[in-house]
Amino acid sequence: MDRMRRLRRTENIRKMVRESHVRIDELIYPLFIIEGEDICRPVESMPGICQYSVDRLDEELERIDKAGISSVLLFGIPACKDETGTGAYDENGVVQQAIRHIRAKYPDMVIIADVCLCEYTSHGHCGILSGGEVDNDLTLPLLAKIAVSYAGAGVDMVAPSGMMDHMVESIRTGLDKEGFLNIPVVSYSAKFASGYYGPFRDAAQSAPQFGDRRSYQMDPANGREALREIEQDLREGADMVIAKPAMAYLDVIKESSMRFNVPVIAYNVSGEYAMVKAAAAKGWIDEKRIVMENLTGMKRAGAKMIITYHALDAAGWIREDGI
């Protein structure tokens, strides 16, 4: 008789045969940087997460450093928005300032910056408009400009999230032309049009002012199309790819991690975070257990890294339990 329980008998045996692990150095922590002074504004739908102005960032950076987290993903909230999102490629933009600040204080921190226009456009779409629609090809040069600007400020990696066709190619070419040959492009390749981004849009003040993002983000039903998106981004020169959201799309993470020989990153998005925090606050679930189970599921599915708002808590728990 095959007795599976033999290898589950004690905690140390279970640890020995454990197949998947959540490692602190594979966690990426998102940060919302808001233009202005002396701001540390809690995001209501994301308990534990705040918008920070650059001058208040140090307290959070200290927590990040203490937790042993070595990578952050930056989102900017500019003071002024306009039709073409000029704040995104302003040399003194909020993200550019944050990059320089973090680079000076924590030279080893892996700084990744989200490259998109939605936080910077008055209409809140991820590209610029013509004839009431998001114009793919008019948007491409701006994305390259944003990436070059972030690279100039000292970013380690750029992460385009707007789901414009050929955004990777445009950014890669732009970076190379300016001599930034060694800045990787981490593409949000398989990004679905998801209800799970709700809390993020409060946090980043980036909700579209009309319509929705379904003409550029993917239909939640399409797994094969996600693989095509990834294939195309890799052809264009993406160094790593992101699948997003995570929990409802573990099949996409599984398939792509088996099929492509690049690191696949899972984005454990704001809505996933909010649900866990809300249920935990009510005492309906055990937060630590649920968070670690969710993150472990993403690793088991094949994610190499995980972008998560739980990163600081998770790092603490991982250290505590010596996993």
Of the residues 116, 151, 185, 312, which one makes contact with Zn ion according to CB under 5 A: 116
Distance, in Å, from the CA atom of 91 to the CA atom of 146, rounded to the nearest integer, reads 9
Query: Binding to ligand PBG (CB under 6 A): which residues in 208-237?
Result: 213
Q: Which residues contact 37 (CB under 8 A, 6 or more apart)?
A: 53, 55
Q: State which residue, 8 or 34, has the beta carbon closest to ligand PBG.
A: 34
Contact pattern from residue 258 through residue 277 relative to ligand PBG, giving x for each residue in contact according to CB under 6 A and a dash for the rest: -----------xx-------
Q: State which residue, 145 or 304, has the beta carbon closest to Zn ion.
A: 145
Nearest to 208 by CA among 220, 189, 221, 193: 193
118: contact with Zn ion by CB under 5 A: yes
Distance, in Å, from the CA atom of 148 to the CA atom of 33, rounded to the nearest integer, reads 19
Burial class, 166, CB count within 10 angstroms (exposed 0-12 / middle 13-18 / buried 19+): middle
Q: State which residue, 48 or 179, has the beta carbon closest to ligand PBG.
A: 48
249: contact with ligand PBG by CB under 6 A: no
Q: Which span (112-120, 167-175, 176-184, 247-255) binds ligand PBG, by CB under 6 A?
A: 112-120
DSSP-assigned states of every residue in 48-74:
T-EEE-GGGHHHHHHHHHHHT--EEEE
Q: Which span (19-27, 194-202, 218-226, 254-262) binds ligand PBG, by CB under 6 A?
A: 194-202
Distance, in Å, from the CA atom of 168 to the CA atom of 201, rounded to the nearest integer, reads 24
Whole-number minimum distance, CB 175 to ligand PBG, in Å? 19
- Site size for ligand PBG (CB under 6 A): 13
Q: Which tokens in the block code for residue 206? A: 């980036």
Query: Binding to ligand PBG (CB under 6 A): which residues in 117-136?
Result: 118, 126
Of the residues 100, 201, 288, 300, which one makes contact with ligand PBG according to CB under 6 A: 201
142: contact with Zn ion by CB under 5 A: no
Distance, in Å, from the CA atom of 183 to the CA atom of 189, rounded to the nearest integer, reads 18
Of the residues 149, 161, 187, 294, which one makes contact with ligand PBG according to CB under 6 A: 161
Closest residue to ligand PBG in the complex (CB): 200
183: contact with ligand PBG by CB under 6 A: no
The beta-strand segments (E) located in the chain are 27-34, 40-42, 50-52, 71-77, 110-115, 129-130, 133-134, 157-160, 186-191, 240-244, 264-268, 305-308
269: contact with Zn ion by CB under 5 A: no
The active-site residue out of 66, 177, 244, 304 is 244
- Taking CA atoms, 278 is separated from 10, 33, 240, 273, 290, in Å, by 33, 24, 32, 9, 12
Q: Active site includes 244?
A: yes
Whole-number minimum distance, CB 191 to ligand PBG, in Å? 7
Q: Which span (36-44, 112-120, 133-141, 229-237) binds Zn ion, by CB under 5 A?
A: 112-120
Distance, in Å, from the CA atom of 57 to the CA atom of 106, rounded to the nearest integer, reads 12
Enter the DSSP assignment of 192.
Answer: B
Q: Which does 200 bind (CB under 5 to 8 A by kind): ligand PBG, Zn ion, none?
A: ligand PBG
Q: Which tokens in the block code for residue 186? A: 């981490």
Q: Active site includes 191?
A: yes
Cα torsion at 186, 87, 39, 198 (round to 10°)?
-60
The active-site residue out of 81, 191, 277, 299 is 191
Residues that bind ligand PBG (CB under 6 A): 114, 116, 118, 126, 161-162, 197, 200-201, 206, 213, 269-270
Catalytic residues: 191, 244
